[in-house]
Amino acid sequence: MTQAPQETGVTEPPGEEELSRAGLRLTVEGAVARITISRPERRNAMTGRTWTTLAHIGQTLPEDVRIVVIAGEGDIFSAGIDLGMFTPEGVEGERSIIGGLTDGSADEADLDAYIAELQQGFLWLRRPDLVTIAAVRGYAIGAGFQLALSCDLRVLADDAVFCMKEPALGLVPDLTGTKPLVDIVGVHRATEICLTARKVGAEESRELGLATLVVGVDELEGAVDDAVAALLTVDHGAATATKDLLLQAEGNTLEEQCAAERAAQVKRLTTLAKAMAAQA
């Protein structure tokens, strides 16, 4: 089975103060949640708190939310991790990623646990009960690229630029992006993109399948709204079961996938039959 909403015991959504400290804005209207990465003075660079708060948003979304749209404030999606996170002094109010290793206050196991916590901010975007859309203007660098890769759809403005910068900084992409990148472009192209840390523009992204759609900058909002409207025409139960099936497909043999299709369809038919009986 693929990821389902986590039972974490956390029920209250993040308040304005938590969102603001994380550099995020959140609006929820009916079935649609919109998250905006909002640290324009740092080109929407993200911190550990951005990702723990993203996880908090995922844990506490109202049940009737079906679509999540993630965008950046202004003309950039995100400049990736706040580079201050790699300085010993870190970012104010945040744990430095490297500080504990340099001063000996943290060991490798601590760091592994911390990165696992940060990855939770990205993992929930795969949940089968949601369709997640990255609306990308301008740069999506490093963690920004990985956040876009965590979404089901990437709608790009024609000025969008992806860049997996981590290897150029002596690091690896560790925020859940390597698997979707390889799934989409294949291991050879993914190797070239990561190990040159080069910029991949919107047109190339479309050719590689990284972009679901590329539109003019002024058309981005409208194109995302159209995608949201189209996605909402499908029954939520059918959408959830279908995304669940699609997510399993790659790891299943044909036989296993056929069995999964049958099991899912029997559940759908049972649900539809019950609804018909209730109406009769």
At a CB cut-off of 8 Å and minimum separation 6, what does 255 contact?
A: none
Helix (H) or strand (E) holding 37: strand 32-37
Phi and psi angles of residue 236, each rounded to the nearest 5 degrees, phi first = -60, -45
CB–CB of 164/142 below 8 Å?
yes
Which residue carries 């859940």 as its tokens? 176
Site for ligand CAA in 157-186 (CB under 6 A): 165-166, 169, 171, 174
Per CB under 6 A, the segment of 26-34, 56-64, 141-149, 216-224 that binds ligand CAA is 141-149
Which residue carries 């679509």 as its tokens? 67
Per CB under 6 A, the segment of 82-90, 103-111, 228-236, 254-262 that binds ligand CAA is 82-90
Per CB under 6 A, the segment of 76-84, 100-108, 245-253, 254-262 that binds ligand CAA is 76-84
Smaller CB distance to ligand CAA: residue 22 or 141? 141
Of these, 79, 130, 136, 245, which contacts ligand CAA (CB under 6 A)? 79
Of these, 77, 122, 139, 162, which contacts ligand CAA (CB under 6 A)? 139
Phi and psi angles of residue 152, each rounded to the nearest 5 degrees, phi first = -75, -40
Of these, 5, 21, 25, 42, which contacts ligand CAA (CB under 6 A)? 42
At a CB cut-off of 8 Å and minimum separation 6, what does 35 contact?
A: 24, 25, 26, 54, 57, 68, 69, 70, 71
Number of residues that bind ligand CAA (CB under 6 A): 18
Q: Which residues pair with 67 in a beta bridge?
A: 32, 131
Catalog residues that contact ligand CAA under the rule CB under 6 A.
Answer: 42-43, 45, 79-84, 139, 141-143, 165-166, 169, 171, 174
